Structure 1
Amino acid sequence: MLKRLITAGMGAGVALVMLTGCVPVQPMQDPPNRPDTTSVSLDGKRIKEGGDLKMALSSEPDKLDPTTSSSLYTRYVMQTMCQKLYDIDAQGEIVPQLATALPKSEAGGKRVTIPVRTDAKFADGTAFNGEAVKTTLERGINLKSSKRKSELGPITKITASSDAVVIDFEKPYAPFTAALADRAGMIMSPKALADQGEDFSNNPVCVGPFKFVERIPQTSIKVERDPLYYDAQNVHLDSVTYQIMTDANIRAANIRSQDVQVADTISPQDIDALQKEGIGTLQVGSLGYQGVTVNIGNQDGVGQPAEQIDSPMAKDVRVRRAFAKAIDRPALTNAVFNGWYEPACSFMPAKSPFSSPAAQQCVEHDPEGAKKLLKEAGVSLPMKIEIKVSNAQDTLRYAQALQAQIKDAGFDLKVTPMEYTALLDAQDKGDFDLIYLGWSGRIDPNDNSAKFFQTGAGNNYAGVSDGKLDELFDRAASLVDDKQRSVTYGQIVERLNEVLPTVYLYRQRNLTAYTNEVSGIDVYADGVVHLSNAAFVEDDA
């Protein structure tokens, strides 16, 4: 029986129409068994010192500011010049970078001490120390436009010395270390922040093997070797130039001609042919996902109080559930991506240590059931709705296949392609009904979920405010036992399958191509291509 409920905790009058009882779900199929290849090593190679490595970047990065950026492609560029307190390795383990050891926890997890390097300098010559870390973390908490605030947790106080920083929390916050292995942990020069303020992105200054040189919008970003870097002897390139090439065919052509030496996000349409031609490829399963977000309450921009959007999809969860039921994920994913990607139904990768059967459940494919739900919701068929998507070929190919597939379930889907940075802007502003975008993923499930769905979170593009979700996210973040966290994330997925602010579609493999003239390249499960220790090498043929 259907029953209308007003969800507890909805902000600014936003109401969700809920279904009582269990949501029909089906288990996802096992992902394809493809071995990961994460690195092309320098071991045994004769290094040619110097040179400018050119990398084809599949989308334009947004602002080069760790506090405010939200693009994966910004992370590609920033990792060469803005090191973090922590990083992840090929096994997905957190390892120190600007910190010298993993955090020491005290007071039942409410106080964390992080020792930091004393041998590092920022690219502007000023000293890296605990005070600089404090400045960056406080900017992440206090800057109005910050995307990092929800990632950093319930911090009450930060104190610093030259070689350490101490963070006090209102309550234990388990995802904190993982957050510092991403943009929240990229430490910026206090002098540059004071001089530039919110214009920091125009000339970012951090600690890293390379430093910023110039940006030509929609064309390229160049970084050059920083002689002040503490490990400069292991930096082999003079510079790296990231060339923006949004067309997958152009990226493939440029890697074939060796006009670029590295190219990210190779299309599944091209990868088999490139491998046969002797082009090197790195591949690793993703921690992230691609999905469709529904604008439920993002009327005034992300981070603002939720206000109910006046559309059937936003107001009635039966319509969102009908949309989810209309999609045959395995059929679409295999047909569009030649079996290289895997269908996904939640933010939780199956291989995550926090996964569980509950976290892998999926709204069942049932087009007739979808049409029935639309009729029950009083929607005139076919239901017309617009989806905004990236203008990348693979994305358009999937969107058009989706458009055709869900027609039989009663949907008339209009596909509107946009340039990537314009799409991100529309997402921030809430200028969409449906938006098809992805998330590259993080090792802690909190950063793949809470920041998108907790009330007021920095990436809550759907504008959802749900009291039960908020409670579950708070509980998961405060638990120190991984098994208990796993159970709670399973409950979160179950709740998301009831509320449906995002309909998950598939999980990519991170496919990166490289020529045989370069080595020292790494690609890990967070999707970032690492070039810090890359080098041109002698051809032994």
Structure 2
Amino acid sequence: MHKLRLLAVIALATGWAFGAAAQGTLRIGINEDPDALDPATNRLASGRQPLTAICDKLFDVSTDLDLVPQLAESYVVAPDGMSVTLKLRPGVTFHDGEPMNAEAVRFTLERNVTRTGSLRRSELTALDHAEVVDPLTLRLVLKEPQSSLLLINLAERAGMIVSPKASEALGDRFGTAPVCAGPYRFVERVPQGRIVVERYANYWDRAMQGPDRIEYMPITDSTVRISALRSGELQIAERLTPTDLPQLDADPNVNVVSAPDLGYHVIRLNTNNGPHGALLGRDVRIRQAINLAIDRNAMVHALFEDKYTAGNQFVNPSNPNYDTSHPVPERDVAASRRLLRAAGVPNLTFTLLVPPERERQEAAQFIQAMLSEAGITMNLETQENATMLQNGRRGQFEALFTFWSGRPHPDGNVFTHYSCTGPQNDSKYCNAALDEILVKARQTDDAAERQRLYRSANAILAEELPSLILWHRRTFTGVSTRVRGFVPHPDSTIRVRGITLQ
């Protein structure tokens, strides 16, 4: 049996108090080199790791996905649901010494909406404007009564508050030297080398435990991350794959902890983003043929030892919002060939962009072999993840293999990717009926109605297939036995507060 620490029993004993004996340096192996460390524009999941240490949010979520206070101590929703009043934590400063107050929060939220290239805009569509009531009180005035959705989004990058002074001074270069109000301040970044942060002496939570210095080390190959963990060069290694785990079974110096994952792995198909969308976007039968040629269950069994869950929707099959009338499809090569002939492309050829990460490389090769049996040639082109996603935004792709780390509210898994104006809708897929459903789902707090709406949205996406969702992970993290206080989260983000080194 693998040495897994289940989420329910992972609360490890904590060590020394903040400011006590020196904690030294914690080295964390992350899956890839992040894009810009700007909460407004950051897209890669690996960027959330250092950003979470550098930038406190208005709220966080617990391992049970409940909202918990961080920079905002409390909130009150107006009786009509059209505003939310936040009370901010007193005595908080940014790493440049400037006060973290209501005006700074107002500035940040406005920046998230207006900054060129912001990926947070769709997460704040409910917000009309923010009003400063007093230095520690802010009123969020809403366009529609969507307070629950707005609040959960403020527990993600949309709620990371930045220093207005540093933002105005650095402009578009803020992501090269972020200044926030988290427990660690940014020190340096060596591209493809490391991101270094050090504990901020004036952090508001003086009792917080944590190492003095953290180095985030981008290591794409999980085998190399494991070797570095076992040798002691790393103390934490994220995103291990199921096939990595046997190597750690007999190692007395490493534990493996896991948590269910909120997200999904997905092949995005270009349906309408420039000339590269002409082939896969012209006839839904082409996308349906590709879909039917893939055996998700066989892939999960062969590559991931059934530790992941085969899926085909933006929530996993155990989620109440899953559309049970469109389950994970059975593979049907004959039907795939018939659809291709009917669409006029019996010998379909297209190119899939895939990052160098071993898990997606192996899955891409597995899918390539399955598609070939249906007469489909899928060429593979390896690109660094950040480059691949840039090409996705520009429409320079036919298909790309990415993953979404997931959000507690289903809206976070679907709106930004599939609504007509979604900032991460690289396919430029647009369906007015789907948009109407997604907006209604944002507006209701009735769980039964929201479930009905998301099942309707799933039904549309399962038919039109602007992307092929393939599986839902468990997150596996390797942790040195020197580490105390590490708790895995369903959003895959490493919270460094509370971690100590023995």
Same fold? TM cut 0.5: yes
Q: TM-score range by the shorter chain?
A: over 0.9
Q: Deviations over 1:349-382 (max 9, x none)?
A: 3454x5244387334421111110000001132x
Q: Secondary structure at the match of 2:352?
A: strand
How far 1:261 sits from its partner (Å)? Answer: 0.6
Greater Cα shift, 354-363 or 274-283: 354-363
1:370 aligns with 2:336: yes
Using the size of structure 1 for normalisation, the TM-score is: 0.88
- Please tell me whether the aligned partners of residues 272 and 278 of structure 2 are also in contact (alpha carbons under 8 angstroms): no
Matches within 5 A, 1:198-347: 198-278=172-252, 279-299=254-274, 311-347=278-314
Which residue identity lines up with residue 148 of structure 1 in the other structure? R
- Please tell me whether the aligned partners of residues 27 and 235 of structure 2 are also in contact (alpha carbons under 8 angstroms): yes
How far 1:337 sits from its partner (Å)? Answer: 1.3
How far 1:156 sits from its partner (Å)? Answer: 1.9
Partner of 2:476: 511
Q: 1:418 to 1:309 in 2, by over 3 A?
A: closer
Partner of 1:157: 129
The separation in 1 between residues aligned to 2:389 and 2:323, in whole angstroms, is: 32
- Please tell me whether the aligned partners of residues 156 and 168 of structure 1 are also in contact (alpha carbons under 8 angstroms): yes
Q: Deviations over 1:132-180 (max 9, x none)?
A: 1110100111112110011112322210131121112221224111110
Q: Deviations over 1:159-207 (max 9, x none)?
A: 0131121112221224111110100000001111111111111110011
The separation in 2 between residues aligned to 1:404 and 1:310, in whole angstroms, is: 23
How far 1:40 sits from its partner (Å)? Answer: 5.2
Partner of 2:108: 136
Q: Secondary structure at the match of 2:490?
A: coil
The separation in 1 between residues aligned to 2:273 and 2:448, in whole angstroms, is: 34
Q: Secondary structure at the match of 1:336?
A: helix
Q: Secondary structure at the match of 1:59?
A: coil
Q: Secondary structure at the match of 1:135?
A: helix
Partner of 1:15: none
How far 1:342 sits from its partner (Å)? Answer: 1.4
Aligned residues: 494
Q: Secondary structure at the match of 2:72?
A: coil
How far 1:296 sits from its partner (Å)? Answer: 1.1
The separation in 2 between residues aligned to 1:65 and 1:250, in whole angstroms, is: 28
- Please tell me whether the aligned partners of residues 112 and 118 of structure 2 are also in contact (alpha carbons under 8 angstroms): yes
- Please tell me whether the aligned partners of residues 82 and 207 of structure 1 are also in contact (alpha carbons under 8 angstroms): yes
Partner of 1:402: 367
How far 1:233 sits from its partner (Å)? Answer: 2.9
1:182 aligns with 2:147: no
Q: 2:354 aligns with which of 386, 389, 394?
A: 389
The separation in 2 between residues aligned to 1:52 and 1:513, in whole angstroms, is: 17
Over the matched positions of the two proteins, sequence identity in percent amounts to 29
How far 1:522 sits from its partner (Å)? Answer: 2.1
Greater Cα shift, 358-367 or 287-296: 358-367
How far 1:410 sits from its partner (Å)? Answer: 2.1
- Please tell me whether the aligned partners of residues 323 and 456 of structure 2 are also in contact (alpha carbons under 8 angstroms): no
Tell me the C-alpha RMSD between the 2 structures.
1.9
Q: Secondary structure at the match of 2:188?
A: strand
Partner of 2:64: 91
Q: 1:169 aligns with which of 108, 120, 142?
A: 142
The separation in 2 between residues aligned to 1:469 and 1:363, in whole angstroms, is: 21
Which residue identity lines up with residue 320 of structure 1 in the other structure? R
Using the size of structure 2 for normalisation, the TM-score is: 0.95
The separation in 1 between residues aligned to 2:277 and 2:227, in whole angstroms, is: 46
- Please tell me whether the aligned partners of residues 37 and 282 of structure 1 are also in contact (alpha carbons under 8 angstroms): no
The separation in 2 between residues aligned to 1:282 and 1:360, in whole angstroms, is: 33
Q: Secondary structure at the match of 1:388?
A: strand
The separation in 2 between residues aligned to 1:438 and 1:356, in whole angstroms, is: 19
- Please tell me whether the aligned partners of residues 38 and 282 of structure 1 are also in contact (alpha carbons under 8 angstroms): no
Segments of structure 2 that go 5 or more residues without pairing to the other structure are: none
How far 1:235 sits from its partner (Å)? Answer: 3.1
Greater Cα shift, 172-181 or 485-494: 172-181
The separation in 1 between residues aligned to 2:83 and 2:441, in whole angstroms, is: 18
The separation in 2 between residues aligned to 1:420 and 1:218, in whole angstroms, is: 12
Partner of 1:501: 466
How far 1:104 sits from its partner (Å)? Answer: 2.0
Q: 1:429 aligns with which of 380, 394, 412?
A: 394
The separation in 1 between residues aligned to 2:375 and 2:328, in whole angstroms, is: 20
The separation in 2 between residues aligned to 1:40 and 1:56, in whole angstroms, is: 22
- Please tell me whether the aligned partners of residues 68 and 147 of structure 1 are also in contact (alpha carbons under 8 angstroms): yes
1:462 aligns with 2:462: no
Q: 1:504 to 1:294 in 2, by over 3 A?
A: same
- Please tell me whether the aligned partners of residues 161 and 180 of structure 2 are also in contact (alpha carbons under 8 angstroms): yes
Q: Secondary structure at the match of 2:353?
A: strand
1:482 aligns with 2:457: no
- Please tell me whether the aligned partners of residues 89 and 136 of structure 2 are also in contact (alpha carbons under 8 angstroms): yes
- Please tell me whether the aligned partners of residues 309 and 315 of structure 1 are also in contact (alpha carbons under 8 angstroms): no
Matches within 5 A, 1:94-109: 94-101=67-74, 103-106=75-78, 108-109=80-81
The separation in 2 between residues aligned to 1:91 and 1:350, in whole angstroms, is: 19
Which residue identity lines up with residue 114 of structure 2 in the other structure? N
The separation in 1 between residues aligned to 2:266 and 2:220, in whole angstroms, is: 20
The separation in 2 between residues aligned to 1:313 and 1:181, in whole angstroms, is: 36
The separation in 2 between residues aligned to 1:37 and 1:260, in whole angstroms, is: 25
- Please tell me whether the aligned partners of residues 388 and 432 of structure 1 are also in contact (alpha carbons under 8 angstroms): yes
Q: 1:415 aligns with which of 372, 380, 400?
A: 380
- Please tell me whether the aligned partners of residues 49 and 237 of structure 1 are also in contact (alpha carbons under 8 angstroms): yes
Q: Deviations over 1:289-337 (max 9, x none)?
A: 00110111223xxxxxxxx755331111010011111111000111011
